[in-house]
Amino acid sequence: MLRRFDIRRAKPKEQSAQLDESYYLASQWQLIWRKFRRHRLAMFSALAIILLYSIALFPEFYSINDHHQRHVKYAKAPPHTIYFIDEAGNFHLRPFIYDMTQKLDMETLKRNYSEDRTKRYPIRFFVEGLPYRLLGLIDTNIHLIGVDEPGVFFPFGTDELGRDLFSRTMHAAQISLSIGFLGMVTSFVLGCLIGGVSGYFGGSVDLVVQRVIEFLVSIPHIPLIMALSAAFPPEWSSTEVYFGITVVLAVVSWPPLARAVRGKLLELREADFVMAARISNMGDMEIIIKHLLPSFASFLIVVLSLAVPGMILAETALSFLQIGIRPPAVSWGVLLQDAQNIRSLSQSPWLLIPGLFVIVTVLAFNFLGDGLRDAADPYKQ
Amino acid sequence: MRSYIFQRLIYMFFVFWLVSVVTFVIIQLPPGDYLSTYISRLEQAGEELSEEEALNLRRQYGLDQPLFARYLKWIGQVLQGEFGFSFDWQKPIRDIIGERLALTFTIAILSTIFTFAVAIPIGIYSATHQYSIGDYVVSIIGFIGLAIPNFMLALIMLYIAWKNFGLNLTGLFSPEYLDAPWNMAKVGDLLLHLPIPIIVNGTAGTAGLIRVMRGTLLDELNKQYVITARSKGVAEVKLLFKYPVRVALNPIVSGLAWLFPSLISAGTITAWVLGLPTAGPMLVRSLITQDTFLSATLLMFVTILTVIGTTVSDILLVVVDPRIRMERAAS
């Protein structure tokens, strides 16, 4: 058991002897990037996050149908199965789907869907469809995927009103992901401000701030967030509710951030390299810019990337309980409302798919944060 | 030691007071109050309320007084054990929250025990078998446990139980036992329903604790004293449990302070999905119907009990770790 650890510990020395000159000349950020690139899971997570945020930026491009449109003929339709091999056993490089037909069971009033194997719709990429405005600026009608008219394509099935779950999930990404990001930025500003003040002044200010933080941390988050967002007036528009929730999330989650900022500030203030800089007659401003900020920035990036998933989870939970984002605005939590009871879940389990997006996002941010932490740690090879 | 506990208790009571102020302010935030909703509901039902009658109602519930006066009146009653009347349930609050709060904390405490019982052995295993298949499997499951929203896990487990075993495990009792007197069958029924809330609540915490346990134990195992002990021929099992595991347990015990509030938090949402008769769903409903006194009382009690839990875990930590005891005594 122990032998293995010894070998691992001895490794860095051998490695550093082999490192070429460029390693010693690289700047701090270059070193971080080098180490980060080696962390495959974190690299992969970074790509996943970029993809997810591109969905949040261009939901219309990724979606197939209008996310509010009700396809009455296809209410509660299961996801289309994508095929490569047709009835006759021929292989098609271009994937395709079969037409879906609905039959109402007159006894149970349950809708049964079956595939019509005679009608085949190939899936096309970069197809022309519904016109929309990219980023609110450029008029276009290109969508990533689609099928020819009159076929319809529901990769994630439809909800009770026959709305395309795939397109709704794409649009929901916009609110779910941006709330995580905005909330993180707001609580970051609050945390830095309060933590900075606390660490800088010290003494009685520090004591009071620390007590307040301790108090806020000891209140259970979710009930507190619930109580605050239940206070939004019912006549608020979706946008107002959206910003309200962002503020509530930020107000509730700044304390741990402020504590981390203060701790790191105190630690850095006493660090040897700061002392050395001071002795060699470096100005305060120069010390802050050249020494404190770089060591602080890498730390902050890590803390922030680990703060986003908590926000996304909280928003999802709030909207799920119907005290968060209100329809017709959609977030992943709003979409999951449809899957609230066992009856609808047993009839249409695909309604849980938006939850998968939540899981993937949270996982990706966690892995990214881990990778960044390892990369930003100068003592770790 | 004794003075530390005394200090901690004083601080706890100070926090109780803060909690009462904060909850009261939060509850006053919503625009309009329950009475206006109540009056408009009466009017919809065809009952005419004169201006004077409405005013009388307001006075009866003290809604015409300034915030400060209402707080004093409220806290005075609370200290006498009177929490007011729930408009929505049409019952005194004291009668309806007791059982629910008890259940909430039973589930939270059971979840804590579950979390520890699962996380510590797995953490030890994956630290001593670093980079083995078992370690990877545990890490992956842990990460998924961390990432999956609690309520979704609850939904999935309900779905699996229903699909594969034909069991509907919502609630804490099957309908036929709901009003039945306590007997063995009812206890059995409860035991059948309890695992889902406990597992669902415990998962996120378990995943976090496994990572902490694994990390600290790995650090400890690399230390000189372990090498010394091994070179002296101490048996592996004894070597592991005598010191490194004990040291690695420390951050876990101190983690109890944040684990408990997060379990209560998570429990609120899971209970909604699972239809448990705990404080969570009651709080959600009282917030939606603006049942002011009920939501204030619930929020306050949930927080106060959480603060008690945190205080107990802080004191426990001092008892467990002599180093902290010395530090506290010195300061």
Q: How confident is the model at residue B38 (pLDDT cuts 50, 70, 90)?
A: low
- What count of residues does chain A have? 381
State mean pLDDT over B90-114.
83
* Residue pointed to by tokens 């209140």: A219
State mean pLDDT over A204-217.
82
Q: What is the CA radius of gyration of chain A?
A: 26
State mean pLDDT over B26-49.
65
pLDDT on residue B48: 66
Neighbours of B324 (CB within 10 A): 16
Residues 6+ apart with CB under 8 A from B168: A342, B158, B161, B162, B174
CA distance A288 to chain B (A): 32
Q: Which of B159, B226, B283 sits opposite A345 (nearest CB)?
A: B159
pLDDT on residue B19: 84
Mean pLDDT is highest, among A211-220, A288-297, B165-174, for A211-220
- Cβ distance B15 to A215 less than 8 Å, yes or no, reads yes
Distances (CA, A) of A21 to A14, A31, A72, A375: 15, 13, 67, 20
CB B110 within 8 A of CB B191: no
CB B182 within 8 A of CB B251: no
CB B279 within 8 A of CB B291: no
Neighbours of B84 (CB within 10 A): 20
Q: Out of A11-20, A190-199, A310-319, B77-86, pick the least confident.
A: A11-20
pLDDT tens readout for residues A189-207: 888 888 878 877 777 888 8
pLDDT on residue A335: 87
How far apart CA A80 and CA B229 sit, in angstroms, is 63
Residues 6+ apart with CB under 8 A from A100: A74, A77, A80, A113, A114, A115, A116, A152
Residues 232-261 of B with CB under 8 A from A: 236, 258, 261
Neighbours of A262 (CB within 10 A): 24
CA distance A367 to chain B (A): 9
pLDDT on residue A313: 87
Which residues in A lie closer than 8 A to residue B147 (C-beta atoms)? 309, 358-360, 362-363, 366
- How many CA atoms lie within 13 Å of A381's alpha carbon, on the beta-carbon side? 12
How far apart CA A239 and CA A225 sit, in angstroms, is 18
pLDDT on residue B330: 53
How far apart CA A261 and CA A198 sit, in angstroms, is 9
How far apart CA A326 and CA A236 sit, in angstroms, is 10
- Cβ distance A221 to B265 less than 8 Å, yes or no, reads yes
* Percent share of chain B, pLDDT over 90: 0
Residue A2: is its pLDDT beyond 70? no
Optimal mutation site among B284, B286, B289, B310, interface A, most CBs of chain A within 10 A: B284
Question: Could you tell me which residues of chain A have a Cβ less than 8 Å from any Cβ in chain B?
Answer: 1-2, 4-5, 9, 215, 217-224, 226-228, 230-231, 233, 309, 313, 316-317, 320-323, 336, 339-340, 342, 345-346, 349, 352, 355, 358-360, 362-363, 366-367
Residue A94 phi/psi, 5-degree rounding, is -85, 120
pLDDT tens readout for residues A254-274: 888 888 778 777 777 777 888
Interface confidence, given as ipTM, is 0.75
**Angle at Cα A304 formed by Cα A265 and Cα A326, nearest 5°?**
135
How far apart CA B273 and CA A54 sit, in angstroms, is 32
How far apart CA A30 and CA A298 sit, in angstroms, is 12
B96 sits in the region (left: phi over 0; alpha: psi -120 to 50; else beta) called: alpha
pLDDT on residue A9: 46
pLDDT tens readout for residues A80-98: 888 887 777 778 778 888 8
pTM assigned to the model: 0.80
pLDDT tens readout for residues B182-213: 777 777 877 888 888 888 888 877 887 888 88
Three-class DSSP labels, A171-211? HHHHHHHHHHHHHHHHHHHHHHHHHHHHHHHCHHHHHHHHH
- Cβ distance B265 to A363 less than 8 Å, yes or no, reads no
How far apart CA B62 and CA B33 sit, in angstroms, is 12
For A222, name the nearest residue in chain B, comparing CA atoms only: B265
Residue A313 phi/psi, 5-degree rounding, is -65, -40
pLDDT tens readout for residues B229-245: 889 988 888 888 888 88
pLDDT on residue A48: 92
CB A231 within 8 A of CB B26: yes
pLDDT tens readout for residues A33-73: 877 777 788 888 899 999 999 988 888 888 887 777 787 77
How far apart CA A173 and CA A240 sit, in angstroms, is 18
Which residues in A lie closer than 8 A to residue B266 (C-beta atoms)? 222
Say which amino acid occupies A369: G
Q: Which of A220, A320, A346 sits opposite B265 (nearest CB)?
A: A220
CA distance B184 to chain A (A): 28
